[in-house]
Amino acid sequence: MTDSANPTNSSRRQFLKTGATVAGTLGLNLTMNSGAFAAGSDQLKVGLVGCGGRGTGAAQQALTADSQVKLVACADAFPQQIDNAIGSLKANKRIAEQVAVTDDYKFVGLEGYRKLIDVCDVVLLASPPGFRPYHLRTAVEAGKHIFTEKPMATDAPGIRSVIESVKIAKEKKLALVAGFCWRYDLPRRELFKRIHGGEIGDVVAAYGTYLTSPVKPMPPASTRPEGISDFDWMLRNWYNFTWLSGDGLVEQAIHTVDWLQWVAKDAPPSKCVAVGGRQIPAHGGNIFDHIEVNYEWESGLRCFIAQRQISGCHSENGLTVLGSKGTARITGFGKDGVSITGTNPWKYEGPSPDMYQVEHDEFFDSIRTGKPINDGDRMVTSTMAGIMGRMAGYTGKQVTWDMAMNSKELLCPDLKSLSDEIKVAPIAQPGVTPFI
């Protein structure tokens, strides 16, 4: 996919290589006013890039957050996805009148996001994360406010590009809200406030879990439609390919990695080791179905994550934070499992509104008030921590933060259309697969 800093012929490799230069140049010519709305009115025109379930949900939350928001454009590689999203949104009577996507503003294909960005004030990015660095760069260059789903990249060159995009967004005073939704959950906000306030004493270690069945199982090759390219097949099953999803650790369990980063006050880990592999046949995909990562910080803090996506096994999504005066816990998805035991026992008993809605409520409020939220720094660190853990799991090596940040491994191939040829990298073998 040739998504570059400029809509010309520069390749992915050149785009990532020259990101810092582009950002420096753009910093000299900033014209976007974060308080400026569509055509000088109070209406905000929103565009959705990536029209699957999560993208449709994000659009619904955006329209619910602000009655003066209209969805005016959608972009996706597959036209049916666009029609499904629009149909679902129009079926919601509360927001149906805010859905104003005409046929001329349904942009199909890999490059459709460029046209969409041109006609919107706010962009919702929810396509497979392998494409995210290019979508982010194009949107910030165009001076658009952005909601971006997690993760923000699948490799280190992509992360380095995102870092530059975050800088541009700050300079242009653009709102940049990340889809690390738990950061907008009121019970968990209160828990971490108490952890950082010393209510469990000095934090010694934390253990997080993301143990579940396969999120998007890879179908057998026998179900593949005749005549479609390998790339088309991969994109239909994007979760199962590392270059598109980043692996289960980076795509779904990144929420738990983000909890660990929250424990560490968003300081990057200094190093990590990991174990992992593929237990169940991948049916042509190349991601692991389990990884366990051990992170260490310069302060001596140790954090661990267990991630597995195998059917028929124990399921668990939680966090245990061990302190010198007590233990903080998150058990399950509701507010009832948010608690502290020890010297200062506590259990959350306050309100618990939908966190997905809260993040969009705060996102649009920050645009309206001219005080744009920018989640960029922490979203970069959490995403990179996940990529770092995957690197350690895939190679079997101890990986330092500096090694990870300077990695030259480019996962995303240079593709222009669904008919392009692509080869699937083999499943990694710890001790054999090199660190690049």
This prediction has a pTM of 0.91
For residue 23, what pLDDT is reported? Answer: 35
Catalogue all structural domains in the chain, each as residue range(s) with its CATH number: 12-182+361-375 (3.40.50.720), 185-351+383-405 (3.30.360.10)
Is the distance from CB of 239 to CB of 221 less than 8 angstroms?
Answer: no
Burial 23-55 (b: 16+ CB within 10 A, else e): beebeeeeebebeebbeeeebbbbbbbbbbebb
Rounded to whole angstroms, the Cα distance separating 131 from 189 reads 30
Rounded to whole angstroms, the Cα distance separating 417 from 419 reads 5
Question: What angle, rounded to 10 degrees, do the helices at 79-90 and 53-65 form?
Answer: 40
Query: What is the DSSP secondary structure assignment for residue 129, as one 8-state letter?
Result: G
Q: Is beta strand 44-49 parallel, antiparallel or unpaired with respect to 69-76?
A: parallel
For residue 41, what pLDDT is reported? Answer: 61
Residues of the chain with pLDDT under 70: 1-41, 414-420
For residue 336, what pLDDT is reported? Answer: 87
Helices marked H in 69-155 — which ranges? 79-90, 112-118, 132-141
Number of H helices, E strands in the chain: 15, 15
Rounded to whole angstroms, the Cα distance separating 88 from 82 reads 10
Residue 217: C-alpha distances to residues 1, 101, 179, 233, 310 (Å)? 24, 32, 22, 13, 10
Structure token digits, residue 196: 């950082």
* 425 phi/psi in degrees, rounded to 5: -65, 145
Is the distance from CB of 399 to CB of 271 less than 8 angstroms?
Answer: yes
